[in-house]
Each structure stands twice: as structure tokens, then as C-alpha cells.
């Protein structure tokens, strides 16, 4: 079975490696029961039940295409909460008619031509970690072929003088890093989905990694590459910089499978750092914490990671951390030093040479002290580092206890961060109040810029009695928060992309002419609308 995680067996109806379990600690369950009520566990469908529902494929045989029912199930959905509800209930709706596994750019071109010849819709598929409905097939008269890039994972070339590496588009985070690390380099791109998401997917959906402060977003790392389209191959050569008109890489970045299939990705790499450390500081309250993180960003203190949790997120993280006695001692100490009720945890990283790191740490500590920050050393920072890719597994622990969790994200200018954050949280907190349901909502800022910040909000709620109610609750919550974002100068996505879930809000930030331009580009590359219908652009516009 091709799973996209090397030797690891990937879950068919949830996140990651089947062998990895992260459970909610017992007191964590009590903590949530008090906040939102006793959990409501829904019943899961089995893989066999789901496979029995897969209809016969409408595709004719092709050597690069699998029509196997299990392969089709495993490539039918991403990782959004509605995707989870579909996978857990077994009510998938539509399955792809087949999954293609090309190994070369020539085979991708062959599959494009075949799709045209047989009147087929195509969905490019990287790691399947989309949380915005990017890769789900839609009902329609055309058969749907999902085009998985999971066999194109190799480091093809490395230019050690220019620090540029060329990869197949299907390399996931561990595959990228292990091939680079063997040569003494890193890409430095670590989205929380790193275990499964791929280079092609990062570029196609404008991803941002946890250490974007040092290495940049994928936009800065993407040096060039190839996009296979129905109009031919669009190649962007690498230049350190260029004033030769609009940058064609921008047509590939964020194209979400609409314009073509990325067949090769060239990225800017860095030598492995001599040292990396993560630290935690507690700020006494949110206003001071917000000012402190803004000052760190605007003073360009050379940190590699910054993550500021608001007071509710801080409280939630400490409650779910396990080790209640040690946490109680820590809180006592923090309260004595002025960070009591309302405290906010800031985690930050330094990456580079020992000398640089010592200077950056000194600068950061001095600045944070001026805002009442209480420095707690590397212990909590190390915990964050150890668990940075384990958090997504907690969704299973929550599910088992009968809770649903989802996240949403945006970015806005500093002058608007607090306003937008409060409005998003209020919208989520209040949306189900009429039904007597409470929603536990908390936020962090984890990608900061001179002019503004991302806002990343998590919300936990109960599913209600059944899957239909669970989906209806999610639709109401997501709709309420998305409307607030669109109406209050937030981007509809800072890092998760548009997909189908965010597409109705895109016009607010692109404008009428902007939308028309994007549609004409889609028509130019894909005149018969075969690629990823409804993704990024709503097809009825």
C-alpha cells in the first residue's frame, strides 16, 4: 500500500502514523467537561464498511492508475474537520474514480493528455493534509482522477555554491530534510503538518513553517521550478533577484492545482545551524505580551521562532500538559514574579552559531524583561520542540473523549490584531450559545512580521448527538468566524490556502478585477476546466 509516509502506516481516517497515540490526560478531560460539558463520542465506520460503498470506477485502465477501492478511499479526503466527519461516519459522498502515481514529469504530461482524451477531471494530490477542502472530488458527470505525487520524492540536484536544491514535488517534510541533512543542509520549512505535507503542496498552497522568522515562508524558499499545464510547461528559472517584469513564480505559488501540476521544485537551502534552542517566557498580561512580541518583530531581533499564546491558550496548554504537580509549582513561582492570573506564554527560538545565538538571546531577554517577562529557561521550550509534530495527534485523543477541535487562521496589520482576534473569538464563543452549547476558544500569534501578525485560533466543541448535527455546528462556527475575518481586514488565509472552504470569501480581498484576472489565468492554463474544480475559484463566478 502506498501511504506517502515511507515505511510508516498512515491512518485512513485521521492523522498520521497508526502507531502514534496521544491521549488526553485524565485531568484534561475533566478540564474540558467543566468548560464545554461532558464529551459526546460518535461511532466510527470501519474501513471495510467504507470500502463496500466505493462505486465501480468510471475510468478505463491505464498502467499509471490504480482503481483499487482502498487506494481510492485513502485519497478521497483531506484533514479538515468536515473531512474527519466524513471519514469517521463513512459518509464520504464522492470517491475519486482512480489514483494515478506518475514518477516523472513526462508521465504527468502523459496523464494530462490522457485526461483530455477521456474527458476526465484531475485533482493534484501532495500529502493530502489540506484543511480547506482542496482535494475532495465533487459529484459530476466527468470521472475524477486524483494525481498523487508520492512517487516523485527525490533530491534531483544540489548546487552547493548557490545553495539551491531541486526536488520532486511529492517529497514530504521528513524526505526533504533527510536528503538535505545527509549533505549538511536544511530547508528550514516546518509546518505542523511536516510529517505528511509535501514540497509541491507547500508551494501550491503558500505554506508557512514554524521557523518562518528565520527561513521565510515557502514564497521566500521557492526559487523556481516547473508547472505542467494544458497549455504547456511553465518553467521559472532561478535568479537571486530580477527586475524583468512580473515574477512568474507567483503564478505557481498559491495556484492550488488550478493552473497545473508542479513537477519540479527548486528551493533555497541553508547550512545546518551550529546550535538551536527554544525558551519560554511568561508575560503578566495580554496587552504587555502583545506589545512585547510586536517590539521583538519590529526591532528585528534575530530569532527563529516566536509563538505567543493568549491567556486562555496558556491556561489550556498548562492544563493539558500532564504533570499537574510540577505545573502547580511553576504557576506559584510565576505568580510570585508577577505573572499570575492572565499570564501569557511566549515561546521563542534562536538558531545559528553559538555566538549569534547568545547575542540574540541576550537582546530578547532584555526586551522582554522591560514588559515584565519572567524567563523560565529551556525546559518548556524543549517540550515544545519535542512535541511540535505530535500536537495534531491530540485530535484523536479529543475525538475519543467526545470533543471536536478545529483551527482557523488569518493575518492582519498590528493596529488591527487585537480587534480582529477578539471579534473572531467572540463570534466562535457566541455562535452556539442559543442552543445552550459552549465553545472553548483560544488563540496564539506564531508568524510575526514588521507590519502585522498571523492570528491562529483553536476551538473545541461537542458534536451533538450525531454526525449531521456535528457538521451543522462546524458550518455555523466556521461561517461566523470567516465572515468576521472578511469584514474586518483579515486575509481569509495566512497559511492554509483557499481550497473550497475559503473560496466564497476570496473576492473580498482580491476585488472584482483581481478575481477576473485569476479566472482568466485559470482559463488560459486549463480552458476545459479539468483541474481541481471549485478550488481557489468558485466555478460559477
How many residues in total does the chain contain?
A: 541
Q: How far is CA 134 from the centre of its chain?
A: 12
Span near ligand FAD by CB under 6 A; candidates 19-27, 47-55, 61-69, 489-497: 489-497
C-alpha to C-alpha distance for 171 and 200, rounded to whole angstroms:
8
Interaction of residue 131 with ligand FAD, rule CB under 6 A: yes
Residue number with CB closer to ligand FAD (208 or 458): 208
Interaction of residue 502 with ligand FAD, rule CB under 6 A: no
- Give least dist CB 126 to ligand FAD, A: 3
Residue number with CB closer to ligand FAD (4 or 464): 4
Residue number with CB closer to ligand FAD (257 or 284): 257
Span near ligand FAD by CB under 6 A; candidates 66-74, 86-94, 203-211, 343-351: 203-211
User: Is the separation of the CB atoms in 263 and 108 below 8 Å?
Assistant: yes
Q: How far is CA 212 from the centre of its chain?
A: 13
C-alpha to C-alpha distance for 211 and 308, rounded to whole angstroms:
14
Q: What angle do CA 390, 21, 6 make, to 5 degrees?
A: 70
Residue number with CB closer to ligand FAD (126 or 397): 126
Q: Between residue 402 and residue 461, which ones bind ligand FAD under the rule CB under 6 A?
A: none
Interaction of residue 283 with ligand FAD, rule CB under 6 A: no
Interaction of residue 24 with ligand FAD, rule CB under 6 A: no
Interaction of residue 537 with ligand FAD, rule CB under 6 A: no
- Phi and psi dihedrals of 446, rounded to 5? -135, 0
Residue number with CB closer to ligand FAD (129 or 304): 129
State how beta strands 121-125 and 144-148 pair.
parallel
C-alpha cell recorded at residue 423 = 471579534
Interaction of residue 124 with ligand FAD, rule CB under 6 A: yes
Q: Which alpha helices (H) appear in 150-222, and where do they start and end? A: 173-181, 199-204, 212-215, 218-221
- Give least dist CB 350 to ligand FAD, A: 20
- Give least dist CB 531 to ligand FAD, A: 8
- Phi and psi dihedrals of 92, rounded to 5? -75, -25
Interaction of residue 392 with ligand FAD, rule CB under 6 A: yes
- Give least dist CB 153 to ligand FAD, A: 11
- Give least dist CB 388 to ligand FAD, A: 10
Residue number with CB closer to ligand FAD (374 or 537): 537
- Give least dist CB 482 to ligand FAD, A: 16
Span near ligand FAD by CB under 6 A; candidates 34-42, 187-195, 312-320, 369-377: 187-195
Exposed e or buried b per residue across 260-295, where buried means at least 16 C-beta atoms within 10 angstroms of its C-beta: bbbbbbbbbbbeebeebbbbbbbbbbbebbbebbbe
Contacting ligand FAD (CB under 6 A), which of 167, 202, 278, 459? 202
- Give least dist CB 287 to ligand FAD, A: 27
- Residue 60's CB is within 10 A of a number of other CB atoms, namely 12
State how beta strands 452-461 and 404-413 pair.
antiparallel
Q: Between residue 311 and residue 340, which ones bind ligand FAD under the rule CB under 6 A?
A: none
Contacting ligand FAD (CB under 6 A), which of 14, 96, 128, 224? 128
State how beta strands 98-100 and 144-148 pair.
parallel
- Give least dist CB 168 to ligand FAD, A: 9
Q: In the sheet where 404-413 sits, what is the strand order? A: 374-375, 275-283, 344-352, 305-309, 440-445, 452-461, 404-413
User: Is the separation of the CB atoms in 169 and 264 below 8 Å?
Assistant: yes
Interaction of residue 397 with ligand FAD, rule CB under 6 A: no
C-alpha to C-alpha distance for 424 and 416, rounded to whole angstroms:
12
- Give least dist CB 180 to ligand FAD, A: 17
Which residues 6+ apart lie within 8 Å of 307 measured at CB? Answer: 210, 346, 347, 348, 384, 444, 445, 446
Interaction of residue 105 with ligand FAD, rule CB under 6 A: no
Interaction of residue 207 with ligand FAD, rule CB under 6 A: yes
Does residue 360 sit in helix, strand or coil? helix
Q: In the sheet where 261-268 sits, what is the strand order? A: 155-159, 164-167, 261-268, 222-229, 232-236
Interaction of residue 496 with ligand FAD, rule CB under 6 A: yes
Span near ligand FAD by CB under 6 A; candidates 126-134, 291-299, 502-510, 511-519: 126-134
C-alpha to C-alpha distance for 241 and 462, rounded to whole angstroms:
50
Contacting ligand FAD (CB under 6 A), which of 166, 192, 376, 412? 192
Interaction of residue 349 with ligand FAD, rule CB under 6 A: no
Q: What angle do CA 162, 187, 276 make, to 5 degrees?
A: 115
Interaction of residue 188 with ligand FAD, rule CB under 6 A: no
Q: In the sheet where 98-100 sits, what is the strand order? A: 65-66, 98-100, 144-148, 121-125
- Give least dist CB 86 to ligand FAD, A: 14
Q: Between residue 212 and residue 271, which ones bind ligand FAD under the rule CB under 6 A?
A: 256-257, 261-262
Interaction of residue 4 with ligand FAD, rule CB under 6 A: no
Interaction of residue 153 with ligand FAD, rule CB under 6 A: no
Residue nearest to ligand FAD (CB): 201
Interaction of residue 76 with ligand FAD, rule CB under 6 A: no
Contacting ligand FAD (CB under 6 A), which of 79, 89, 121, 136? 79
Does residue 264 sit in helix, strand or coil? strand
DSSP structure class, residue 537 = S
The β-bridge partners of 458 are 407, 442
Footprint of ligand FAD (CB under 6 A): 78-79, 123-131, 134-135, 149, 169, 191-193, 197-198, 200-202, 204-205, 207-208, 256-257, 261-262, 392, 495-497, 532, 535
Amino acid at each position: 500500500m502506498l501511504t506517502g509516509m515511507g515505511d510508516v502506516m498512515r491512518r485512513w481516517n485521521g492523522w498520521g502514523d497508526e502507531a502514534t497515540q496521544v491521549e488526553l490526560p485524565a485531568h484534561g478531560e475533566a478540564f474540558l467537561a467543566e468548560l464545554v460539558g461532558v464529551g459526546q463520542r460518535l461511532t466510527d465506520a470501519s474501513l471495510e464498511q467504507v470500502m463496500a460503498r466505493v462505486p465501480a470506477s468510471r475510468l478505463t485502465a491505464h498502467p499509471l492508475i490504480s482503481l483499487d477501492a482502498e487506494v481510492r478511499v485513502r485519497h478521497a479526503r483531506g484533514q479538515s474537520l468536515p473531512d474527519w466527519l466524513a471519514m469517521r461516519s463513512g459518509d464520504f459522498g464522492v470517491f475519486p474514480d482512480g489514483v494515478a502515481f506518475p514518477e516523472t514529469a513526462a508521465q504527468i504530461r502523459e496523464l494530462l493528455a490522457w485526461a483530455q482524451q477521456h474527458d476526465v477531471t484531475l485533482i493534484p494530490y501532495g500529502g493530502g493534509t489540506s484543511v480547506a477542502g482542496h482535494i475532495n472530488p465533487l459529484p459530476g458527470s466527468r470521472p475524477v482522477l486524483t494525481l498523487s505525487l508520492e512517487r516523485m520524492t527525490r533530491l534531483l540536484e544540489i548546487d552547493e555554491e548557490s545553495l539551491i536544491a531541486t526536488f520532486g514535488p511529492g517529497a514530504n517534510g521528513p524526505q526533504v530534510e533527510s536528503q538535505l541533512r545527509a549533505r549538511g543542509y536544511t530547508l528550514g520549512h516546518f509546518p505542523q503538518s511536516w510529517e505528511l505535507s509535501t514540497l509541491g503542496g507547500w508551494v501550491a498552497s503558500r505554506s508557512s513553517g514554524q521557523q518562518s522568522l528565520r527561513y521565510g515562508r515557502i514564497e521566500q524558499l521557492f526559487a523556481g521550478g516547473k508547472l505542467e499545464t494544458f497549455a504547456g510547461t511553465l518553467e521559472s528559472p532561478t535568479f537571486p533577484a530580477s527586475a524583468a517584469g512580473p515574477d512568474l513564480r507567483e503564478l505557481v505559488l498559491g495556484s492550488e492545482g488550478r493552473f497545473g501540476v508542479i513537477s519540479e521544485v527548486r528551493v533555497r537551502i541553508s547550512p545546518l545551524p551550529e546550535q538551536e534552542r527554544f525558551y519560554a517566557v511568561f508575560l503578566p498580561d495580554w496587552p504587555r505580551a502583545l506589545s512585547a512580541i510586536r517590539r521583538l518583530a519590529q526591532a528585528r531581533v534575530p530569532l527563529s521562532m516566536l509563538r505567543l499564546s493568549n491567556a486562555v491558550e496558556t491556561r489550556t496548554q498548562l492544563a493539558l500538559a500532564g504533570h499537574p504537580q510540577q505545573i502547580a509549582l511553576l504557576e506559584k513561582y510565576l505568580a510570585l514574579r508577577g505573572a499570575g492570573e492572565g499570564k501569557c506564554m511566549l515561546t521563542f527560538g534562536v538558531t545559528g552559531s553559538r555566538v549569534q545565538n547568545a547575542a540574540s538571546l541576550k537582546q530578547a531577554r532584555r526586551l522582554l524583561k522591560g514588559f515584565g517577562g519572567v524567563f523560565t529557561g529551556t525546559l518548556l521550550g524543549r517540550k515544545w520542540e519535542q512535541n511540535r509534530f505530535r500536537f495534531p495527534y491530540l485530535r484523536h485523543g479529543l475525538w475519543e473523549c467526545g470533543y471536536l477541535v478545529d483551527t482557523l487562521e488569518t493575518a492582519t496589520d498590528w493596529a488591527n490584531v487585537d480587534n480582529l482576534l477578539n471579534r473572531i473569538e467572540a463570534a466562535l464563543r457566541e455562535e452556539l450559545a442559543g442552543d445552550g452549547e459552549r465553545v472553548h476558544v483560544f488563540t496564539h500569534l506564531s508568524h510575526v512580521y514588521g507590519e502585522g501578525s498571523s492570528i491562529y485560533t483553536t476551538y473545541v466543541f461537542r458534536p451533538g448527538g450525531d454526525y449531521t448535527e456535528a457538521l451543522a455546528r462546524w458550518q455555523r462556527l466556521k461561517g461566523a468566524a470567516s465572515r468576521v475575518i472578511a469584514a474586518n481586514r483579515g486575509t481569509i488565509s495566512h497559511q492554509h490556502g483557499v481550497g473550497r472552504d475559503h473560496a466564497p470569501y476570496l473576492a473580498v480581498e482580491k476585488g472584482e478585477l483581481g478575481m477576473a484576472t485569476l479566472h482568466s489565468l485559470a482559463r488560459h492554463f486549463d480552458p476545459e476546466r479539468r483541474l481541481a474544480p471549485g478550488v481557489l475559484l468558485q466555478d460559477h463566478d
